[in-house]
Amino acid sequence: MREREEDSARRGKKDDLGTQLLLLVLKIVLLAGFLFILFQFLFSVTLAGDDSMKPSIREGDIVISYRLKKDYVKDQVILVNYEGVRQVRRVLAVEGDTVDITAEGLLINGSLQVEPDIYTQTLPFTEGVTFPLTVGEGQVFVLGDNRPYAQDSRIYGTVDKKATLGAVFTVIRRRGF
C-alpha cells in the first residue's frame, strides 16, 4: 500500500514538472511574440552603418527609434531609408523652409546656420540637387553630421516623412565595451 502511494506521488511530481515546463515554454513564446510585435510596429533597432554622423553617432552604434511619431523638428535625428540602406541623419529644415548652401555655408531661410557640434564646413556636392531648395509639404531636409562623407539631402533631395523610419530616441555605444 505504501509503495502505491509513493509511486503515485512520483507520477504527480513528474506531471507537475511536465506541466511547469510546458507553461515555461508557453511564457517564453508569448514574450517573444510580444517583443516581435513591439519592435516590428513601434520601435526600430538599427546599427549605424558608417561614420556619416560622427562624432555623435559612430559606425557600429545601436540606434533605437520610435516609428509612430513623425512630426520632426529642426536638429532632430531620424532614420531614413535611401535605396534600401538605413541611414541616420539630422533634420535641418522642415516643410516651407528654404535651404541654400553657398561658399558662406549652410543658409536656412536666409540665415547662416551656426552648428557648434559640426566640425567641418557644409559644402554642396557637384552632383545632386541644385540650391536654393524649398522643402515641400510633408518633407524634411536631412544632413549627416560628418558632412564631407555623408550621402544626404544634398544628393537625393528632400525626404518624404512617410518614407522615414522614425525619430531616434537613444543610441547605445558598441565600441569600447
Percent of the chain with pLDDT over 90: 50
Res 14: pLDDT: 58
This prediction's pTM: 0.78
Q: Round to whole Å and give the CA distance between 12 and 30.
A: 27
Q: Do the beta carbons of residue 158 and residue 96 sit within 8 Å?
A: no
Mean of the pLDDT values across residues 45-62? 89
Percent of the chain with pLDDT over 70: 90
Pick from 168, 167, 159: nearest CA to 82: 159
82 alpha-carbon distance from chain centroid? 13
Q: Do the beta carbons of residue 64 and residue 170 sit within 8 Å?
A: yes
Q: Round to whole Å and give the CA distance between 156 and 25.
A: 48
